[in-house]
Structure 1
Amino acid sequence: MKDSARDFYDSLAADYHRIFPDWDASMTRQAAALDALVRRELGAGPHRLLDCACGIGTQAIGLARAGHRVAGSDVSPVAAARAAVEAAARGVALPAVAADMRRLPFGPGAFDVVVCADNSLAHLLTARDVAAALREMRRVLTDGGLLLLTLRDYDDLRRTRPASAPPQVSHGTDGRSITFQLWHWHDDGERYDQEYFQLVPEGDGWEVRVRRTASWALTRSEVTEAVTAADFTDVTWQMPETSGFYQPVLAARARPR
């Protein structure tokens, strides 16, 4: 993952909750959708689960509250540290470390489930890096273990190439904040640069915070091919209307070796 992604999430970590109208409600809703998929595939558990792009804990905390034994890792040490603190404040343990998903610091077969959510894989901008990350996810999964990976609906976005994402209004103890993105598509029609704007209350006005990063708009067929090549099988996609999760979700099983 490029340093720009780590720097982006280091900078955003303190404000990441502002992406959501109500972060705790989103945390509960997203974990419920992912937990239902885990239970359907593997049974009630609890299961050993790694969130390999845990950020500040949006999915990991809720999954820990659902009873799973969750560990987190993230390319951003600032985000990973906040995830552990936020989990403790909500009464659950979430050991979280700073780690690049292409080089996970866990042993082979350490987990029953690996989650890679919130469009995190898209920050890897080459096929080689995507393959390296997926191989690592497979390595740390037990045979037959479950991969859950979520991305934006890039099948549609590659076709329409929007110039922006809809604004989100968050309500917090310091008032309302507004988050919106501008997207600048590369000539290849697949990758794009993001300008991430947040308007945060400051006195009688607003402070404008701007962060920048890049993403690769991987289609579902491209991701399916890469996941299959990384030694996964039984690849399926669940769309939001059936999964309850806000992005398309890929589910796959680690092929026994």
Structure 2
Amino acid sequence: MNTRVFYDELAARYDLLYADWDASIDRQGRALDTLLTTALGRGPHTVLDSACGIGTQALGLSRLGHRVTGTDLSPVATARAAAEAAARGLDVKVAAADMRALPFPDASFDAVVCADNALPHLLTAEDVRAALAESRRVLRPGGLLLLSTRPYGELRRSRPASEAPRVRTGPDGRTITFQLWHWHEDGERYDVELFQLLPTGATWAPCTSTTTYWALSEAQTAQFVRESGFGEPVWHPASATGFHQPLLGARRPLPRPRSTE
């Protein structure tokens, strides 16, 4: 199943992945805001969330005053992101777009966020380089890329077959979400079956969606970022930022001063 179909199907129930989605919106927004302001100074900043989904990071950053645009491959997800922003009185512009071909002029943003393990949906080096090149293109000189992935260096060594279940308790009952992972022979790519059991009175209704990831190690991801023309990337562990995944930060270099000789 392709990535767009996976997120089109998941958009209506994506918030059920979280025990408390609104708390996660605030927590992730604060973590990203700290990195943004540390690197770029006090905002507000113009931020592109290039894989915004239903808006988790975009809503959090907008709530903190940043000028946020969200794009995603899934038009169903971006429509929900727009509705969630409107319901909260937030001005988040959204568009359905592929991160490998962003519909913005050069140097449009102070920062680009690509979070929640979005880049590993790209399964070839050519596609990863294309997405990173587009992020660099739409950043102003000196602008900041913030990219989060799972900690794949360790995960590729252990090759887990599943992820622990998550439970969300809501007004209709408990929703249970869990994943099965099926590793490819190359040891780097894997298919995910995402199961959700939705409460329906005394029982549950099952929903299943499937997608594929490339488990790029931290070193591989950093090397792709370097090759795409960014300055030296820095990984920020989740324990240091309060974000739920490791975050890579890298700047688009400033132009070199012209020689006066």
Q: Aligned Cα RMSD in Å?
A: 0.8
Secondary structure of the corresponding residue to residue 232 of structure 1: coil
The AA in structure 2 aligned to 1:81 is A
The AA in structure 1 aligned to 2:247 is V
Cα distance in 2 between the residues matched to 1:226 and 1:188: 19
> Which of 182, 185, 197 matches 1:184?
182
TM-score if structure 2 supplies the norm length?
0.96
Secondary structure of the corresponding residue to residue 197 of structure 1: strand
- The corresponding residue for 2:109 is 111
Correspondence 1:174 to 2:169: no
Deviation at 1:204, TM superposition (A): 2.0
Cα distance in 1 between the residues matched to 2:229 and 2:68: 23
Deviation at 1:173, TM superposition (A): 2.7
- The corresponding residue for 1:244 is 242
The AA in structure 1 aligned to 2:115 is A
- The corresponding residue for 2:7 is 9
Cα distance in 1 between the residues matched to 2:172 and 2:58: 25
Deviation at 1:88, TM superposition (A): 1.1
Moved over 4 A (4+): none
1:14-33 equivalences under 5 Å are 14-33=12-31
List gaps (5 residues or longer) in structure 2. 256-261
- The corresponding residue for 2:32 is 34
The AA in structure 2 aligned to 1:68 is H
Secondary structure of the corresponding residue to residue 113 of structure 1: strand
Secondary structure of the corresponding residue to residue 232 of structure 2: strand
Cα distance in 1 between the residues matched to 2:175 and 2:83: 23
TM-score if structure 1 supplies the norm length?
0.98
- The corresponding residue for 1:44 is 42
Secondary structure of the corresponding residue to residue 233 of structure 2: strand
Query: What is the identity percentage for the equivalent residue pairs of Structure 1 and Structure 2?
Result: 57
Cα distance in 2 between the residues matched to 1:35 and 1:219: 25
The AA in structure 2 aligned to 1:30 is Q
List gaps (5 residues or longer) in structure 1. none
1:69-148 equivalences under 5 Å are 69-148=67-146
Deviation at 1:95, TM superposition (A): 0.9
Larger radius of gyration: 2
